[in-house]
Chain A
Amino acid sequence: MGHDFILSQSDGRPMYLQIMEQIKLRIAVGDWQPGFKLPSIRELAVDAKVSVITIKRAYQDLETEGVIVTQQGKGSFVAAEDDIGQRLKEAELDQHLTQVIKTAKSVQLDVEELISRLRKRWPEA
């Protein structure tokens, strides 16, 4: 039973982050619905061709973020939250925004100038 988790070797980020991203993606697009039982850690390790500990780490961090819920002895499940996909996308947006703000500060822009730049670009993107 394949889950088609494929890791990119040219992606410089740690593997557990890539796994987390792929899991979040499946949740965001709705392939994995709230309450869906995730494959066991070992099963996903074999499928994604990575070590068990990488999957373990991914699952642990996902639980900390509230994306999944782990029940002792039963397994891990996608958090039963409405619009979790939406929440994940917004969390990603916030990350991007933080980056933008950092860069803006480094070229000495203030928040007003940043907002005006945003307005200018909004119709184009």
Chain B
Amino acid sequence: MNSNETTQPLIKLNGVGKAYQHFELSDVDLTLEPGCVMGFIGPNGAGKSTTIRLIMGLVQADRGDVEVLGVPMPEQMAAAKRDIGFASEDMRLFKNGTLAWHMNFMRRIYPGWDDNYAQVLLKRFDLRPEQKLKGFSHGQRVKAGLLLALARRPRLLVLDEPTTGLDPVARKEVLNELLEVLADESRAVLFSSHNTQDVEQLSDTITFIDRGRIIDSQDKETFLDKWRRVRFRAAAEIREEDLTGVVEFHHRGQLGSVITDRFEPAMTERLTHLGAEVQGVEPMTLEEIFVAEVEASREEVLL
């Protein structure tokens, strides 16, 4: 692992596949560049946790290559993990230890531990170091885990649901800290979240996974630009088949709308040509896109 390579992707998954009894991850391609935040979204059971486990070397891929910080996983996981900060929902700190004990533990193991920053985080996250972990609430536990990961100033942060279950203040604190990481453009963050607002706000790249496959992985602005909701008004019948790139289609009475994931001006022309009056072309929030995408793919399965 060469720490001088600041242009090399921090995570690179190529054609990765992993089969379980009731679930299969297949053809996963994923690249995380330095200086980048990747938001990883998908419904429950889509494969986010499995992908993250593959990245951390906790499981081994059946097919394809997993490379993190320039070394293959899981073969050289020890080398890679020196510079990865990991926090996950199903990871627990030792319940009989205090937060201070954990901080001490990490300090002795990681030479990059920044004690000043750790103290700052203690205040910002409002945590008590002398308290045992078993006395922590869920939110405090999550913040404690993040503190331990952040205070080491690792080059790569891999976070599984870092803001889930946090109150609004705690969420803001966490997001602030994640953003501070990005002031250094050799570092990067991968985080999975159900909170589409967080993902929309923070991510440079959005990776969307469903049923073990990557649906889309590209820079956020381009991604958001592709999706539009077009509202129209038409007395005549407009048929869905006459339009292209339709994800969702409604037409009741005179008013209707089309959701598309491939918007072009030609579409509004097409609608006008079919006799509709286009009333608005609206961008969609990530949450709306998420729901539309997943609902559409569920329907496809039923058909």
Residues of A at the B interface (CB closer than 8 Å) are: 7, 9, 12-16, 42-43, 45-46, 49-54, 57
Q: A13-B283, A53-B220, A54-B220 are in contact. Are A46 and B204 (CB under 8 A)?
A: no
| B122 on interface, CB distance cutoff 8 Å | no
Instruction: Write the chain A residue with the least CB distance to B181.
Output: A46
Instruction: Write the chain B residue with the least CB distance to A7.
Output: B201
A62 CB to closest chain B CB (Å) equals: 14
Instruction: Write the chain A residue with the least CB distance to B201.
Output: A50
Contact assessment for B219 and A53 in the assembled complex, using a CB-CB cutoff below 8 Å: yes
Assembly CA distance A9 to B283 (angstroms): 15
Assembly CA distance A13 to B219 (angstroms): 18
| B243 on interface, CB distance cutoff 8 Å | no
Contact of B179 among A7, A14, A46 (CB under 8 A): A46
A7 CB to closest chain B CB (Å) equals: 8
Number of chain B residues whose Cβ lies closer than 8 Å to a Cβ of chain A: 23
Assembly CA distance A49 to B180 (angstroms): 9
A15 CB to closest chain B CB (Å) equals: 7
A-B contacts, 15 of them at CB < 8 A, read A14-B221, A15-B200, A42-B182, A46-B179, A46-B180, A49-B175, A49-B201, A50-B202, A51-B37, A51-B203, A51-B220, A52-B204, A53-B219, A54-B221, A57-B221
Name the A residues within 8 Å of B285 (CB-CB).
Answer: 12
Apart from A15-B201, A43-B183, A51-B201, what are 14 other A-B pairs with CB-CB below 8 Å?
A9-B197, A14-B221, A14-B224, A16-B221, A42-B35, A49-B175, A49-B179, A51-B37, A51-B202, A51-B204, A53-B204, A53-B219, A53-B221, A54-B220
Main secondary structure of the interface of A (DSSP, over half): helix
Name the A residues within 8 Å of B221 (CB-CB).
Answer: 14, 16, 53-54, 57
Name the B residues within 8 Å of A54 (CB-CB).
Answer: 220-221
Interface residues of B in 270-303 (CB under 8 A from A): 283, 285
A121 CB to closest chain B CB (Å) equals: 25
| B24 on interface, CB distance cutoff 8 Å | no
Instruction: Write the chain A residue with the least CB distance to B184.
Output: A42
Interface residues of B in 135-181 (CB under 8 A from A): 175-176, 179-180
